[in-house]
Structure formats: C-alpha cells, structure tokens
Structure 1
Amino acid sequence: MKRLALSACLATLLLASTSALAQVDGYAGHPQTPQPIPAVVDQAWSGVVRLEVDATDLNRRIYQVRETIPVERAGPMTLFFPQWLPGNHGPVGPIVQLGGLIITANGQRVEWIRDTLSPWAYHIEVPAGATEIVATFQHLSPTTGSQGRITMTAEMLNVQWEKMLLYPAGRFHRNITTQASITLPTGWQFGTALEPETTAGNTTTFKPVTLDVLVDSPMFAGEHYRQIDLDPGGRSPVRLNIVADEASNIAPTDEQIGILRNLVDQADYLFGARHYDHYDFLMAMTDRLGGIGLEHHRSSENSVDPEFFTSWESKLGDRDLLAHEYTHSWDGKYRRPAGQDVANFNIPMQNTLLWVYEGQTQFWGKVLAARSGLHNRQQALDALAMDAATYDNTVGREWRAMQDTVNDPIIQQRAPIGWRAWQRSEDYYVEGQLIWLDADTLIREKTNGRRSLDDFAKAFFGMNDGDYSANPYTFEEVVATLNGVVEHDWATFLRTRLDGHGPGAPLDGLTRGGYRLVYTDTPSDYQKTLYGEYGRNDFTYSLGFQTSATNQIGSVMWNGPAFQLGLAPGMQIIAVNGEEASASRLSNAVTAAKGTDEKIELIVKDGTRFRTVTFDYHDGLKYPHLERIEGTPDRLGDLFTARRR
C-alpha cells in the first residue's frame, strides 16, 4: 500500500511538471509538436546551392564544410540530411558523422531544432531580410573501421557528397541546382564524373548540376593517381581512375588494360546503347580506405586489393566488381524500379524489384567478367558452383521466401548476423542470379539456341542511346519484355521462384545449361585461391562450418553436424584429435574418418570455457563443382563466351 501511494504521488508530480513545461513553449524552448515538413512540389528551388568542402585535414580525417543555401522567404524552413541513399537501398545516411552544425543568416546565428519524428530533418526560422543561409559543419570520417567506413587516409580519400550536405525540404532533388568545390592536399589528383569549371591553387570548382546528379557523382582523390583510357576513340569517354596506397601498386600490364577494355566492348555488344556522356571507374587499390562497391550512372566506386594488378593470379575476390558496378549504369540507374525512383533522399524507397536491380546485375556482372577475360571459363563455372551450393543449402528458405530478403537493407542494414543460412540476408543478389540463369537457359531451350537473355538485355536496357535520365519500370514491364523475347508464362515462372520455399535453390538453369552440381573431396582451383586470399577454410558441406586462419568458427550450417553438437559462430577450435588445431590437421582427420568407425574429436574454446565435441561423421570432405552432363548442349559455355562483332 505504501509503495502504491508513493508511486501515485510521483506520477502526480511528474504530470504536473510536464504540464507546466508544456505551457512554457515546450521543453527548454523547443516546441512540443514538430514543425511540419513541407510537402514535395515539382518546381525549381531559387538560386544555386554552393557547397565548399575542405579535405586537407588528413591527420584527423575531418572534412570541413561550408554550404550556402538561397532562401525563398522568411519564416519556417526545413533542411534535410540525406537519409535514403541510392545504391544502399536503405535509410542509412550517416547523420552521426555530421558535427559542429552552425547556421547563420545576415551574419547572425539561427538556431536549429531536430525533428523528433524525422531526425534527419532540421527546422529553422529564416529571419526577415535574409536571402541566404550559411551552414558550417564537419563530416567526421571514421578513424577506425569499428566506427564505420573510413573515407580518408594519409594517401587517399573518397568524397561522397550526400554525406556532407544539407538540402531544402519540399522539392524534388532534380529541382535543386548545386555547385560543389573541393580543396585537396597539395599535389593530389582526382577522378569524378563531375566536370571542373575552374581551378585556383588546390581548390577545384565544378560546373553546377542538380542535386541528384551531384550525389550520383562521388570522387576518389589521392597522392598516387593514374587515369587510363578504356575506350580509345570511342563515342563517349570511358576512363579508369586509380588511387593507391603505394605508387608501386598502380602497375597494370598491357594485357590487364586490354581485359578492362574488353569489358567496355562486351557491355556495348550486350546492351547496344550507352546511357552516359562519359563514364569514370573510380578504383581505390587499398587496405586502408574502407571497402566499397557502389554504382552510379556515370561512374562507380570500387575498392580492390592493393595487389589487384601485381598479384593478378592470386587475387580473385575483386575480379568481377568492376563488371558488376558498370552493369548498374544500365540496370539500376538508367532502368530503375519504379519504387526506387523517389523525389528526394528522404522519401522511403521500395525494394520490391531488387531481384532485377541487383539480381540481374549479379548475373550480367558474372557473365561480362567471363566474356571480357576477368574470369576464364573454368573460373566462371567454379564460381557458379560455389554460388549454387551456398543457396541450395540455404535452409532459411523453409520459412522465408527470397522475395522477402529485399527488405534486408532496411531491417538489417548490413549488420553482421550469426546464422546466415537460417536468417537469410540480401539473397536477391545471388539467388536472383540463379533465377536469371534459369530464365536464360529456358529461353535458349525454347528457341533452340536462337535467342537468350541477351535479347532481353538489348530490349530492356538498350533503347535511347546517350540518354541518362531515369527510365523506371514495373514487374509487368519485365514480364512483357520477356514475352517479347519468347512467349511463356513468365509471371508464374518468376513468382514461383521468388515466393517459393524450395526445397533447395532454383538450379534448373544449371541442368538446362548442361551441368549438374556435384561434390568432391577436393576444392576447385578457384575456391582454393579465393579462400586462400580470404584466409578461410571450408568444411560447410562436411562438418557444417567454416573457419578462419586462426581456427575461429566463422559460420555454422543450421541443422548441420556442427550445429547438432552445439557449435556456434565465434567459437575457436583449439585441438583436433588431441593435437594443436590447424586447417590441414582437420582436413586430414575428416579424410581419415571416411568410411571407417573413427570419430573426429575437437576441443573448442567458447569464451572462457572449453569443451570437447565428437563428430560421428564418415562421408569425407565435400566441395562443390559443376559436372558436365554428357549429350546435352553446353549452354553455360556459350553464355560465358565473348561476343564478336
């Protein structure tokens, strides 16, 4: 009774104090009800927004920003920090990296109030007589990977304009003209799709563009820089802009440059049109700058291993990255899902068709990598085998259809997860690739090889040469274009694979392509090289887990042998059959137990605890391969073969 009476008394006092504060113009002068965010109208914003970035503070990794924004009238005004970032497919604009925001008008400070319901929005009151406001602030690049993606090092930087600007709410981004300038360290050079207007000392001012084009035109800059023409004499410039941790890394051979030129040529052959006036690959050869692979309409951001060129044969992990991001100029940028074609960067995007945007790009990225020579034919087949095995063993399909994974950039935001095969992640990439392979081989089968998904690509992406305005599409248009290639019930074909629950992955594309997925006791040369590069050891299809170079368990197959014994990601294997753990010792133990009564005993460290687990497993090592089905057309072989004019 006393406790209830005290609680009632405190509640009464709290209610009284809250009411009193509410009568005094809100808490500490802040209004109780957020200022309304203006509705979006399709009309030009008056004047030009001037964005000035100083990127010379290399020691502290701080970008200093000064932004001058014309105003249309005195009174309420809302400024947005971009929240929904193109290519990220989610509300991930890193507003936490904005610091020190001060807004002034006519030389006097203007207080801002963050919208409590939309915290990427700032409300201000423009004073009478002001024609512009000035915002000064910092973009604080992470200084370690634990803080986020590092965008500045002592040797290079990556400017992504959307992370260092504010813009007026209430307009389409294409209605806001913006002129950016940047001051770089002395002697640094840069690559970007923006076109310079003037240069004064270390400061470059670019030609004015609309806000959506600015955000779509990032920059790589660095102390060590080289630009390579990838389409000499072509109808529109295509350039490779390289920055590197060390000057010695920028050493592509003539053969490697020829392969990248093949990529441009093979894309031309495939799509039949270009949707840019010039294109700039931005490549960072680094293990210091944060990793990235991000598409833009007239450029792409790509980070690769520093030895991408100098250790070509052993660096396979980044081989198809440029092909994937280049494909996005057509798929995702020129043709983009209607739900992605939003008015500005603070309106939610709908990811429903990411299995086209990303899934078909994954398909064409792998195909163009093979056709250009970034992968040889066997590497392309081996990579496909690994993808097929991974998704054929994604047991989370039982409860979660692939279509639902398009929501992962919003709900998961690419945070680490523990049970990958059960939780699922952004499976619309690779499982999407398998669905499009299924479609390609079905078209080839129905037309006796006369037509393929190449014909869809030309019809869907290849119109209006030179046009780089967005051309949105719907599910119905995808189906109609497929029917224009060959008549089939494509709507049911797609929905069955998108919404189904298996069992297993959609692998009909392999069998129609002339191959079957099999497992042997030896990894392919491609897998050995790739996992050697990653420091990864694969026992997924035998014991049911992978390990790192330090014998830490990185992933565990849901309901597999290791799972049944209570193992989980993050544990560390200390010993194998009484001896110090190593990948080779574990492989030998699995091989020795094959077809015998021998058991495999592991000592596992789980935090501060140790325990012994015993595998009663006798089927040997298993690694995925594609095996040719004799007497069938080699449709995969044709898919990966370079086209010739």
Structure 2
Amino acid sequence: MTAKSQVKINFEASFTEPQAHYVEMEMNISGLSKEYIDVKMPVWAPGSYLVREFAKNIEGFTASANGKPVRFEKVRKNAWRIYSAKAANVKINYRVYAFEVSVRTSFIDDSHAFLSSTGIFLYPDGMLKQPSTVKIKPFKGWEKVSTGLEPVAGQPFTYTAANFDVLFDSPIEVGNQDIFEFTASGVKHEVAMFGGGNYDKEKLKVDMAKIVDHATAIYGENPNKHYTFIVHNFFTGGGGLEHLNSTVLGASRNGYSDIKAYKGFLNLVAHEYYHLWNVKRLRPVALGPFDYDNENYTTSLWVAEGFTSYYENKLMYRSGFFTDQETAQNLATAITNVVNTPGAKIQTVAEASYDAWIKSYRPNENSNNATISYYSKGEVVGMLMDIEIANATKGAKNLDDVMKAMYDEYYKKLGRGYTDAEFKTMVEKISGISFTNFWKTYVNGTDPIDYVKYFGYAGIKVTNEHAGKNVPYLGLATKKLEGRVMITAVSRNSGSWIGGLNVNDEIISVDGNPVEAAVDKMPAITGKNVGDSVTFTIRRDGIVKDITIKLLAATSVKLTATVDENATDLQKAVRKGWLN
C-alpha cells in the first residue's frame, strides 16, 4: 500500500443549478492503492450537538477509477464503498441539496451559496488527518469567496486544509457578499455581510475590535493568523456557530440601527469569538478528536457553552457597552429565567449537557417542565463561580484566571481535553477553597440558586418584585389558531397541570363565558383569588368536556439588581475583581 503521506485529496465545488439549491461536488483521491475505498460524510457538525444525518442530502453519487466507472455500494447510512481495484486515481461525483436556513446547515439559491462543510465534504475512512485542497467555481456573476481556509497562492478560489478537522471547521460563503476588514490584537479580521442591511461598517469595525481585544486579553494571546465573520442578514435572523478561525452569525438586516438589536448582535459576536478559546481549543475531553459517525457525549457543555454565554456579558461590559448597573441587571435576568423554568428543578446542568443530543435540539411541549438549557443554567453557574472565586480571594482572582490556567495546561501543554474533575481541581487551585458543595448544589444538583448571597458578596442588592404577592396563576399558555384558542403549554405543578388541562385542548368557554380573542393573556382569572375554582369547557379529540381547576399562587420571580454605592470596601474589591 502506498504511504498515506503520498495520498492527495482534492475537491471541486461548482454550481450549475443554484436556483434549485444544488452544489456539484467532485472528489479526487490519488496515490492510494487499495481494493476498495470507503468514503463517509459526517452525521453532525461540531458545536451543534445533534445528529443531523447530512448524508440524506446527497444524490447522484458516481465513482470512477483511472477514468473508468467502477462499482460502489452504500455500506451504512453515511458511507459508500468504492471498489477501486488498487487504481491510483479515484474520482467521486455527487450532488448536495442545500436549502435549510441556519448557521449550521448549507443553503444555496440564485443569490449565494453557504457551504457548511460537514454537510458538503466526504472523507476517506481512517484518513481524517490527511490534507486536502478545495477549489470553488462560483456561479456566473458571483465574484467572492469568504472562508477561514488557507488560500493557495496563485490559484484563485482555491484553498487548502491541513486535515479534515480543519476542513469540517471552515464554512464557505460564495457570492457577492459585502466584505470589510479590521485589525485587532494583531490579527486581520474579515467581515463578510450577505443580505444587505443598515449596518455602519466603520462603527462595526471599532466595536467588534473592542470585543476581540478584551477576549484576547483574558488568554494573553490570539491563536489566529486571520479570522472570518460570515454574517447572514435576513428579514429576521439570529444564532451563531463557532469555528476554528471563523464564525457564522445570523442577524436581522434592518436591526443595526436599533440600540437593543445592535447590542444583541454584539453580544452574539462576543459569544462566538470567545469560543476561539473555550471549546475550539480548551475543550471537554469527549470533544476531540471528534467521532463524526456518532454522538460525542460530555457532561461539560455547561462550561463549553454556558460559560461562553456568561462571558459575552463580561466582554460587553469590558468593551464599554454596558454599565455596572446594566450588567448586574442582565445577570439578574439570566437568573430569573432559570428560576422560572420548572425543568430547572428536574434536570441538572450536567445531565442537560449529556442529553443535548436527544433533548436540547428536539424540544417538545413538555421540555420547559422537564429540562434546563446548559446555556442558561451554565451562564448562571459561571457567574456564581466567578463571584465565589473573587470573594474567596478578596478580588485578587476570578474565573478569567481559571480559564487561562486551563487553556495553558490542557490545550497548550498537554494537548488534550479536560475532565469535569480536572476543571473542578483547577477552580479549587485558583480560589484556594473547596468547591465540592458548589458542584453538588449547582452542577450535579437542582437546588435553588442563592442569588442574594452571591450578589451580596459583590455589593449588589437583589430584590424579587413578586415576593409577598399572592397572585392567582393558571399555568397555561394559549395560541389563537384559525379562530380557535388552543392550549400550547401547561406548567408543571400549576392548577392547570394538576387539574388535567392538556396541550392541544381547544378552549371553548371559561366559567360559561365564550372564549373569543384571548390569546396573549387569559382573562379567566380576572377578579379571582388564590384557591378559587375555574371551569374550562374544552374540546379534546372531538369530545367536549368540562375540567375544573383550582387557582394556585404564582411562584415565578422577577429579580431587580441594584449596585449598592454604600458597599463595603471588601464588597467593592470583590465587584471589581469579578467584573474587571
């Protein structure tokens, strides 16, 4: 068999029917003398923890060896076996249908092509470490390609990847996107804007550079030679996906002039950019090297994703986009969202991480009652841990020190991922105190969040506006559908839950009064008190029935945070050490 180092793998992507959402792929493998070659397509995209079965979009698969057609067969859902009879040159052709708008899936139409690499490129089984070359042949009228891949000198629209992990971590935008650049932390950053919009390039250059500089300052180095932001501006858009030296962001094309929406976009920039260190390099041990055929389970997504959600707040604060007061309130609101999720009392954040593959991306009508997001709970855990470290060290250390020490130890020194136990050990080393009870309470437990204590360490007062109020609460959500009022959600342990109202029940009347346009707010409890009964006449599976429920008191919280200007010197030191 020829040495793998002599194997060459080349791809060519072209577009003959972009209006029909297709890319034509040609893959050439040379220098590999085997009776047969298995080629595979990943079933998931790193950073998005769901098996998406990308192979379902492949059609028109053909293979030839030394210029002649050869036999092939599909040997599993995402793998094809090509009987090449030790031929030196094997060519594979296939088409990929791409018509799903998201930051993690490919989309092609007559205006542009977005190629999310895990759903586009095949790889020879067992050869993930092999380099490859990619040539893009833009459709007529398309003039630009944006990607984090390294360009090949002297060959337009041709790029090289050191291995398939790099290729799969490098999305490609093809079309006529608006491109501008800025330099921050010594790194050239390209911003590729598709879809138009009312953005101000000069303002974005300055504001995005601030985020880059503050993120880089945490780790003391920027791991990139160049970085690419691919931004898809739609009528309404959102979401982001991190990559090795690039990211894909979704945005609303006319939202840049609204201050809240603009800060929301910068929040997204901060989140995805911070991923350069947290998860793309410093990562849980289960997330590298990747198994592209199966789920990659870890209990630590609350660090990989949740902490990143938390750090977008710190980066926005440090970049000057939020004040102390605004930051405190933003974090209090994050706690509010977790406390008001019934599933937070059922599922731990470690379990949420492990079950991401089967629950997080496949929510149903009961998800809010049974699960918690490792993003939202992880954000809160990161904040509590950060304040705890700052308090234990009187403001001398914070979570930044933990993240940098982990990056230096496990990514740079050991070149591997970390375990949950290793992360806990580093937290204890930096803080000088035990975090065993913290882990038991907030990572592997579902105990209530002691937000008064933690905010108090930093001289921030938190009040619950709902405290002491005996407000009746139905515990259901409705939606008007074709003139009918339908139940869309029922909250755990509410009167509606206990009484037996169901999602998809049609509400005909409440206490004998017809339901007309009650969609956003159910007027059924007007004038009622906790303990009173309400009778719903509903239609379920065509059968009309009455269900009487007892109104219970609302248990939700609404937290308001206020920075205490009369805080003690220690509290001020903790606050400064925590945020700065």
- TM-score (norm: length of structure 2): 0.84
8 Å Cα contact 2:134-2:158 kept in structure 1 = yes
**Alignment partner of 1:365 is 2:318:** no
Task: Find 2:13's aligned residue among 53, 56, 74.
Answer: 53
Aligned amino acid, residue 544 of structure 1: G
Aligned twin of 1:40:
none
- Match of 1:141? 98
Mapped pair 1:282 → 2:230: yes
Q: State the match for 2:173 in structure 1.
A: 220
The correspondence for 2:137, drawn from 164, 183, 201, is 183
Residue type of the alignment partner of 2:275:
H
1:407-556 counterparts in 2 under 5 A?
407-412=354-359, 414-424=361-371, 427-461=373-407, 471-502=416-447, 504-505=448-449, 507=451, 509-513=454-458, 514-516=460-462, 518-520=464-466, 542-546=473-477, 553-556=487-490
Q: In the alignment, is the contact (CA less than 8 A) between 1:50 and 1:68 conserved in 2?
A: yes
State the percentage of identical aligned residues. Answer: 20
Paired with 2:280 and 2:369, the residues of 1 have a C-alpha distance of 32
* 2:237 is the alignment partner of 1:237: no
**Displacement after TM superposition at 1:349 (Å):** 2.3
CA distance in 1, matches of 2:549, 2:17: 55
Q: Residue 263 of structure 1 aligns to a residue in which SS?
A: helix
Residue from 45, 52, 65 that aligns with 2:25: 65
Match of 2:34 in 1: 74
Segment drifting more, 154-163 vs 436-445? 154-163
- Note closer, same or farther for the CA distance 1:542–1:635 as it changes in structure 2 (3 Å cut): farther
Question: In the alignment, which residue of structure 2 is the partner of 1:262?
Answer: 210
Q: Which residue of 2 aligns with 1:354?
A: 301
Matches within 5 A, 1:279-358: 279-287=227-235, 292-314=239-261, 318-342=265-289, 345-346=292-293, 348-358=295-305
Say whether the 8 Å CA contact 2:105–2:116 is kept in structure 1.
no
Q: Is the 8 A contact 1:194 1:207 kept in 2?
A: yes
Match of 2:559?
625
CA shift, 1:179, in A, is: 0.4
Q: Aligned equivalents of 1:340 and 1:464: distance in 2?
A: 13
**CA drift at 1:221:** 3.4
Identify if the C-alpha distance between structure 1 residues 276 and 462 changes in structure 2 by more than 3 Å, giving closer, same or farther. Answer: farther
- Which stretches in structure 2 are left out of the alignment for 5+ residues? none
For residue 86 of structure 1, report the CA deviation from its aligned partner.
Answer: 1.4
Equivalent positions of 1:28-47 (< 5 A) are: 44-47=4-7
Q: 1:226 to 1:501 in 2, by over 3 A?
A: same
Q: Secondary structure at the match of 1:158?
A: strand
Kindly tell me: are residues 230 and 353 of structure 1, through their superposed partners in 2, closer, same or farther at Cα, counting changes over 3 Å?
Answer: same
Give, in whole Å, the separation in 2 of the partners of 1:258 and 1:459.
29
Call closer, same or farther: CA 1:347–1:139 in 2, change over 3 Å.
same
**C-alpha deviation, 1:67, in angstroms:** 0.6
Cα deviations by residue, 1:124-179 (Å, 9 ceiling, x for unpaired): 32224x1121111111113689xx956123433321122112211123x2x21110
In the alignment, the residues of structure 2 paired with residue 397 and residue 276 of structure 1 have an alpha-carbon distance, to the nearest angstrom, of 38
Q: Retained in 1: the 8 A contact 2:309–2:379?
A: yes
**RMSD between aligned residues:** 3.8
The alpha-carbon deviation at position 490 of structure 1 amounts to 2.7
Cα distance in 2 between the residues matched to 1:378 and 1:603: 47
Distance 2:445 2:16 in 1: 53
Question: Aligned pair in 2 of structure 1 residues 227, 345: CA closer, same or farther (>3 Å)?
Answer: same
Structure 2 letter corresponding to 1:239: E
CA distance 1:491–1:475, shift in 2 (3 Å)? farther
Structure 1: stretches of 5+ with no match in the other structure: 1-42, 522-539
Calculate the TM-score normalised by the size of structure 1. Answer: 0.76
Q: What is the CA–CA distance in structure 2 between the aligned matches of 1:517 and 1:105, rounded to whole Å? A: 72
